[in-house]
Amino acid sequence: MILFWSIGGALAAAALILVLRPLLARRGAQSVSRREANIAIYRDQIRELDADLAAGKIAPEEHAKARAELEARLLEDVDAPAAPVAAQRGGRLAAVLVGIGVPLVALALYFAVGRPDALSVRPGEPPVSAHEFESMVARLAARLRENPDDAEGWKMLGRSYAVLGHFPQAIEAYTEAVRREPRDAQLLADFADALGMSRRGSLQGEPEKLVQRALEIDPRNLKALALAGTVAYERKDFKGAADYWQRMLPLVPADSEDARTIRANVAEATQLAGVEGVRPEAPAPLAKAPQAAAAPSAGVRGTVRLASQLKAQAGPEDTVFIYARAANGPPMPLAILRRSVRELPLDYALDDSMAMAPGMEISAHPRVVITARVSKSGGATPQPGDLQGASRAVANDARGVDIVIDSVVR
């Protein structure tokens, strides 16, 4: 930080010298009047014209015409009144004040609204602190209290609270969003998911109604289909679960891990229902519907797995956070997924629909870093003992970005 301020001070001093030097130099030249300066310029231009005539570059007629124009301009300039000395001094004083004031004001603004602490980079520091993340969500909530008609803001607030595990607050935010956009299928599915999580994972009752409303609006909504299948599975309506999950297959790439997971779920439900259906490509005893995948053309996609040497340090119910942040930009997450260790290895998709704040979309940053972390506390903030892995910087539409959780947070 000392080096930063030293360089900054040197640059500011150099800028001031460049601004003030010509002004100070004019003090010795105050005796040169505007009239004398104009006459000196006129003489130089006449000499150039005479030299061009002697060299044959211009004709005598052109020489005479140009000289007449110069003489006319000289008469106008010489007759103009000289600028008052007080005005000249006032202009120099204003310039000096601006030259000194601008860097001072800039410095004051930096300390008022900037982040001087961002200059203190400590090795191993997490990309975003608990305070920063909570403050970001709090600022969004405060802004929505002043501008409650911002439906997109309520959606982001609901997603943020859901990621943090604050499901009652997420439900309140989603309620406000649904009140303003009652026919947003994705919003209804997210609302149902948060409501189910607040009820220990049960989607019976109101969450199921929200899922059905979402499917009435958009029968191809992936998350709504996944949740509807889960509802049916919970009721032991295995044929109904297989039917819902089967409808997801045309919506994902046929050779993707998503498709293989869905086929495995369909096969299991079909087997339990005792009817013919799709057979799994490989054993996959998953009794839970896969989460909705992002559109194949958007965002970053890949797989997260836990290194074998760390499996003993993670419980099946431990929370897994998968998030993207800008490789060159603000440290706060651009998108976050919340999963559990029992689902590892798992496919993930991060896209603009998961933005945590207005204007903080993945598509706005050409290069991003994907991080996966097993949280022992269940909180979004890294704690000592958490398990973590990260990618190198990748394009914001990269595919096959595989993350291995292979280190311990100290």
Q: What pLDDT is attached to residue 163? A: 76
21 and 73 belong to one structural domain? yes
Q: How far apart are CA 253 and CA 260, in angstroms?
A: 10
268 and 161 belong to one structural domain? yes
Residue 374 contacts residue 380 (beta carbons within 8 Å): no
Q: What pLDDT is attached to residue 225? A: 93
Domain assignment present for residue 290? The answer is no
Q: What pLDDT is attached to residue 245? A: 92
Q: How far apart are CA 338 and CA 334, in angstroms?
A: 14
Name residues of the chain where pLDDT drops below 50. Answer: 1, 3, 23-32, 78-98, 102, 104-126, 276-297
Q: What would the DSSP string read from start to end of 347-371?
A: EEEE-GGGBSSTT--GGG-SEEEEE
User: Residues 284-314: pLDDT tens digits?
Assistant: 333 344 444 333 346 899 999 999 999 999 9
Residue 304 contacts residue 388 (beta carbons within 8 Å): no
171 and 211 belong to one structural domain? yes
171 and 198 belong to one structural domain? yes
Q: What pLDDT is attached to residue 21? A: 54
Burial class (CB in 10 A: 0-12, 13-18, 19+), 170: buried
Here the tokens at position 134 are 């909570």
To the question of pTM greater than 0.75 for the whole model, the response is no
210 and 105 belong to one structural domain? no
User: Residues 365-378: pLDDT tens digits?
Assistant: 889 999 999 988 87
β strands within 82-126, DSSP E? none
Q: What pLDDT is attached to residue 87? A: 40
- Give the closest residue to 374 by CA, choosing from 396, 330, 329, 343: 343
* CB contact burial 261-299 (16+ within 10 A = b; e otherwise): bbbbbbbbbbeebeeebbebeeeeeeeebbbbbbeeebb
34 and 168 belong to one structural domain? no
Q: What pLDDT is attached to residue 221? A: 92
Q: Identify any residues that bridge with 408 across adjacent strands, giving them in sequence order.
A: 387
179 and 251 belong to one structural domain? yes
